[in-house]
Amino acid sequence: MSAESYLSRGVSPTKDDVKAAVKNQDKGVFPGAFCKLIEDIAGDPEYCTALHADGAGTKSSVAYLMYKETGNYDWFKGLAQDSLVMNTDDLACVGAINNLSLSNTIGRNAHLVDGKAIAKVIEGYDEMIGKMADLGIDIKMCGGETADVGDLVRTLIVDSTIVARERRDNIINAANIQPGDVIVGLASFGQATYEDSYNSGMSSNGLTAARHMLLSKYYFENYKESFSDTIGEDKAYCGKFRLTDKLPGSGQTVGEAILSPTRTFLPVIKEVLDNYKGSVDGIIHCTGGGQAKCRDFGKNIRYVKDNLFELPPLFKAIYESGEIPMKEMFQVFNCGHRVEFYCNSEEAAQGIMAIASKFNIESRIVGHVEALPEGSDNEVVIRYGGEEYLYN
């Protein structure tokens, strides 16, 4: 699968080259799980350990632009939540939700990003950890590293690493996804009960594409440090918006929408597993690879998604830029839902949607799983807007 609009800007949506590079590595104690799990770090045979690393990606470049345009350092704060959630919600897909230990890594160009910006990122970590504690999620900050690497980083990069231990009998193994499962999707947009403002659903994937497809040549002309010089002028900041422009169909500005902090689904997933664990065959986080991410899990199966959410305003604006076809949209962006539960019972599916509703998060049955002949490669079929898109 290729996504030309993304690849032309120096980003691989599916990271097939990376997958090829690591294909011979040990698959861990639960091969086929959403995250790699290894022998328990404490040596307990009833437990296993996950060590996970991820970050806010190029969303930090937009935070930098917003700071430069407004003088407000607060735009850096949300990057901590982005970086944290891209780890926690991956780990939640294997059932690792409790007693999370966090270390952060910040790389910056100190000529452009000063100590006040770093302080805001750290403040963002502390605030998010406190908010999760109030919801019964225990995350411990174990320190981190801030490196001045201006020769390598143009502005700022915010990454995190989390280690978690979990009982093996609590693990959710996506290798168990099977024909007949129904797929419940949780909306990435809206305002959850534990969020301070409306969330556009952007999360932390596809930011390179979103930034260059939406924002205008003004940023190319005034902020050369905000993008790679390997991107041609015809691909850099090709859109029609300034960050302070209103996003069509939304109460947010374009900058606010792009920088909406990545929503965590931890409170929902925790309650779902407390009540329906036996009926959940797998949980998928639709991050890198978007709605085709699920293709990597299970064997001999076709994922059919035929009841997706309508594109939220930010994704609609990206599509209407004319830079990206709809098939590629689903491959690069979550396009409206970011977490999927694969349920083997209708009762569980209804129960999960009721739990999501308690947190003011929209949900729906977005599709189902079908069988393919033994030895087949998995495939994803998306039906949307009267069209069908195949990913295999």
Question: Over pLDDT 70: what percentage of the chain?
Answer: 94
Q: Predicted confidence band at 7 (pLDDT cuts at 50, 70, 90)? A: low
Mean pLDDT across the stretch 274-291? 96
Q: What is the DSSP string of 303-322?
A: EEE-SPPPPPHHHHHHHHTT
113 close to 155: Cβ distance less than 8 angstroms: yes
**pLDDT tens readout for residues 68-104:** 999 999 999 999 999 999 999 999 999 999 899 999 9
Which pLDDT score, from 0 to 100, does residue 26 have?
A: 75
User: Check: CATH 3.90.650.10 for 4-391?
Assistant: yes
pTM of the model: 0.93
Q: What is the distance, to the nearest Å, from the Cα of residue 385 to the centroid of all Cα atoms in its chain? A: 24
> For 190-210, what is the mean pLDDT?
96
Alpha helices in 192-243 (DSSP H): 207-214, 217-222
Which tokens belong to 347? 């009762």
pLDDT (0 to 100) of residue 1? 37
Q: Average pLDDT, stretch 24-51?
A: 92
CA 14, 56, 10, 153 torsion-angle sign: negative
What is the reported pLDDT for 5?
60
Is the pLDDT at 205 greater than 70? The verdict is yes
Continuous H helices in 8-53: 16-22
**Joined tokens for residue 274:** 């407390």
Average pLDDT of 319-337? 96
Strands 182-187 and 100-108: unpaired
Q: Phi and psi dihedrals of 255, rounded to 5? A: -65, -45
CA 149 centroid distance within chain: 26
Contacts of 294 (CB under 8 A, 6+ apart): 177, 284, 286, 303, 340, 380
Residue with tokens 């091969």: 31
State yes or no: pLDDT of 177 exceeds 60: yes
Lowest-confidence pick of 11-15, 55-59, 195-199, 232-236: 11-15
Domain ranges of the chain: 4-391
Contact predicate 273/136, CB 8 Å: no
* pLDDT exceeds cutoff 80 at 8: no
pLDDT of 13 > 90? The answer is no
